[in-house]
Amino acid sequence: MKKDLLLKAYSVMCNAMHISEILEANKEITAKYVHATSRGHEAVQIALGLQLEPRDWVSPYYRDDSILLSIGMSPESLFLQVFAKKTDPFSGGRTYYSHPSLKDNDKPKIIHQSSATGMQAIPTTGIALGLQYKEKMNLLAETELGGVVVCSLGDASCTEGEVSEALQMATLKQLPIIFFVQDNGWDISANAAETRAQNIAEYCKGLNGLEIVSVDGSDFETCYNELNRIIATIRAERRPFVFHAKVPLLGHHTSGVRKEWYRDDLEEAALQDPFPKLKKACEAAGLGLADLILAETNSRKKVEQAYKAALEAEDPDPSSIQDFIFAPTPITEEQGIREPQGKKKTVMVDSALFAVREIMHANPEALLYGQDVGRRLGGVFREAATLAEQFGDHRVFNTPIQEAFIIGSTVGMSAVGLKPMVEVQFADYIWPGLNQLFTEVSRSYYLSNGKWPVSAVIRVPIGAYGSGGPYHSSSVESVLVNIRGIKVVYPSTGADLKGLMKAAFYDPNPVVILEHKGLYWSKIPGTEGAMSIEPDEHYVIPIGKARVVQEASNEFVNAGDSVGVITYGRGVYWTLEACKEYAQQVEILDLRSLNPIDEEAMFALAKRHGKVMIVSEESTECTFGLSVLGRIQQHCFQSLDAPIALVGSVDTPAIPLNSNLEAAILPNAEKVDAALRQLLTQ
Ligand SMILES: Cc1ncc(C[n+]2csc(CCOP(=O)(O)OP(=O)(O)O)c2C)c(N)n1
Ligand SMILES: [Mg+2]
């Protein structure tokens, strides 16, 4: 191996070593914020980092500071992160040491990295899926050609379910990705014997089309040469690899969990220290001791200076805490024609289909995937029917039953500049994907300090309808609105669904669209209003704007004899039906967007009527409806003439199958009517 390459690797390794030494020597100061270092894992990390290029993507985990140094991050930039300083280049002091996110032109790109072990596998595989799509569509820029994606993982994290989803998809689709596994035999204090039946190389043997390479990760030259071959192969052949490196863990698990408390293999591990091994390799290649000593002293000086400078750097400004919650969207006003002339009404499910069709027609970076949305069926509600035929199987395709992958892959897709639209088949099955939504999707923009917003449309059919039973009826909006950093919309008509779908698509943030199954075809008597004339191609509705469905007459309002109802989704139709005989006394506000919410319209309604009722399909315990109630009472208390009423389902863990039981649990027009009459008499 060439001397200059070895010397470069040695210098980086000296930096990594000195960083971990200085952090340890000053632990009273440095352990204020938890951190882990790569001590023991340096050789394999440097072998990788030195070979990555700006066209590549890497997802390092919390122990990968040697990857960061070897792609060109300075020791000072890492110390700025240890101390959570304002100029921490990754997150401006928002996230931990070695939890990078990077979008520099001269380095490999790094999407936001969370602390949840293994969870980077899906977003990172999403990058590779995105690159493959761009290749097929000829959308790659010159600078992106042949890019390789690396997902770095600890051995224990490989036992997690989501990692299996990622491995399956990478193999199935033959994606240009390396699963780069550093196997130190330890979880935190649990060892390999307790946590796995086989290592990742053995585990992956059943995946057809995944090449597996196992190496001694403490030997720099072996790692470098193997990775060199793998990277060259992926650049040319576009296929996945597992790279499994055995490494010794020489430092602490983290600054907070110390090795002397529980490690029984420290002496054995020390024999595998990559540092003396690399030194020996340098000497064998003809580097003089003087060269190595010079590299070492230079590094020590540089690291000490960097430490001091970072320690003295400015802290982030508390006034910045609300920066980068949502990226600004271009859709701020209602535009286009909501009711073009000469058109017939269409059912809601078709409005959505037409919206997606127009989006895909106009935007090559748009694609749609999820379970059963592909050519054969076009969605279990036929909500994607004909799309694969029209746009091709590479743009509209089925995924395995992997809600985590469906949701989490949008992070990577969006990072490469695509606009994924994905579908979760039923709201009841959003739970396996909720982790990705919370851990990765919702926080990416905020924790990367504005570098990586996630543009994604996540369609979720929701709600109870026609004895769907306990696993096809649930309402989940309260959980979703609690995930800050995502937008949630819940349209009640086809026109709103189309306008909001378009707005969601052009929004740079993640948007979940809740689509009530009971409104899709307007088959339920009383829900005919969900059908609408299809708005034109340019029609958009800004997310966060409510709509007045029914106005009360001034005569009743002035007499103090009216109620303002705040509702959404199916609730709109229960309310309309309930007050048919006294419609002039009831003003109905359809929120359409649950987050952001139209406070202005809600408060104006409360002030105008003095009596407010909230109608939702969820139960009345710990729900979104209750939070709306709380907001109104907090802001409009003095305008209220009666306690705010809340109508929702009976509080049960699930909606039973039997139709009588289902009916007894859900709200309906009679229940809303009774509550309205009571409120009007107060
Ligand atoms: C999902 C999740 N569960 C638990 C933890 C707590 N935790 C942090 S590190 C760790 C062990 C990870 O071991 P491994 O993946 O082998 O990486 P290593 O630290 O050995 O390099 C655990 C359980 C976490 N961060 N994320
Ligand atoms: Mg481990």
Residues in the chain with pLDDT < 70?
none
Among the listed residues 358, 378, 364, 453, the one whose alpha carbon sits nearest the alpha carbon of residue 410: 453
**Which of 18, 35, 99, 472 is an active site residue?**
472
In the prediction, which pLDDT does 220 show? 98
What would the pLDDT profile of 434-490 be if each residue is shown by its tens digit? 999 999 999 999 999 999 999 999 999 999 999 999 999 999 999 999 999 999 999
In the prediction, which pLDDT does 297 show? 97
In the prediction, which pLDDT does 1 show? 80
Q: Which residues line ligand 1 (CB under 6 A)?
A: 63, 115-117, 154-157, 184, 186-188, 253
pTM flag (> 0.95)? yes
* Ligand 1 atom 15: residue of nearest CA: 154
Q: Which atom of ligand 1 is nearest to the CA of 158?
A: 15
Ligand 1: distance of its center to the CA of 407 in Å? 22
Tell me the torsion sign for CA atoms 407, 412, 415, 421.
Answer: negative
Among the listed residues 154, 222, 150, 218, the one whose alpha carbon sits nearest the alpha carbon of residue 185: 154
Ligand 1: distance of its center to the CA of 155 in Å? 9
Q: Which atom of ligand 1 is nearest to the CA of 117?
A: 26
Q: Which atom of ligand 1 is nearest to the CA of 115?
A: 25
Q: Which atom of ligand 1 is nearest to the CA of 41?
A: 21
* Ligand 1 atom 11: residue of nearest CA: 187
Ligand 1: distance of its center to the CA of 85 in Å? 25
Ligand 2: distance of its center to the CA of 54 in Å? 28
* Helices and strands in the chain, H and E counts: 26, 19
Considering every ligand atom shown, identify the ligand nearest to the alpha carbon of residue 113 and give its number: 1
Considering every ligand atom shown, identify the ligand nearest to the alpha carbon of residue 41 and give its number: 1
Ligand 1: distance of its center to the CA of 158 in Å? 10
Torsion angles phi and psi, residue 20, rounded to 5: -70, -35
| Long-range contacts, 471-476 (Cβ 8 Å, 24+) | 471/426, 471/428, 471/429, 471/654, 472/426, 472/428, 473/428, 473/654, 473/655, 473/662, 474/427, 474/428, 474/654, 474/655, 475/427, 475/616, 475/617, 475/618, 475/649, 476/427, 476/428, 476/430, 476/514
Strand partners, 346: 532
Among the listed residues 593, 582, 23, the one whose alpha carbon sits nearest the alpha carbon of residue 307: 23
Q: Which atom of ligand 1 is nearest to the CA of 183?
A: 16
Considering every ligand atom shown, identify the ligand nearest to the alpha carbon of residue 159 and give its number: 1
Torsion angles phi and psi, residue 648, rounded to 5: -155, -170
* Ligand 1 atom 1: residue of nearest CA: 116
In the prediction, which pLDDT does 384 show? 87
Strand partners, 619: 649
Q: How many CB atoms lie within 10 A of CB 668?
A: 15
Ligand 1: distance of its center to the CA of 333 in Å? 45
Considering every ligand atom shown, identify the ligand nearest to the alpha carbon of residue 61 and give its number: 1
Q: Which of 42, 153, 157 is the best mutation target for the ligand 1 pocket, counting ligand atoms within 8 Å of the beta carbon and taking the most? A: 157
* Ligand 1 atom 25: residue of nearest CA: 116
* Ligand 1 atom 8: residue of nearest CA: 117
DSSP state of 440: I
Q: Which atom of ligand 1 is nearest to the CA of 153?
A: 15
Q: Which atom of ligand 1 is nearest to the CA of 182?
A: 21
- Determine whether 394 is an active site residue: no
Q: Which of 187, 257, 259 is the best mutation target for the ligand 1 pocket, counting ligand atoms within 8 Å of the beta carbon and taking the most? A: 187
Ligand 2: distance of its center to the CA of 118 in Å? 11
Among the listed residues 468, 507, 465, 511, the one whose alpha carbon sits nearest the alpha carbon of residue 490: 511
Contact 253, 36 (CB under 8 A): yes
In the prediction, which pLDDT does 674 show? 98
The strand pair at 593-595 and 563-567 is best described as unpaired
Among the listed residues 597, 625, 609, the one whose alpha carbon sits nearest the alpha carbon of residue 676: 609
Burial class (CB in 10 A: 0-12, 13-18, 19+), 307: buried
* Ligand 1 atom 22: residue of nearest CA: 188
Torsion angles phi and psi, residue 240, rounded to 5: -90, 155
Ligand 1: distance of its center to the CA of 35 in Å? 13
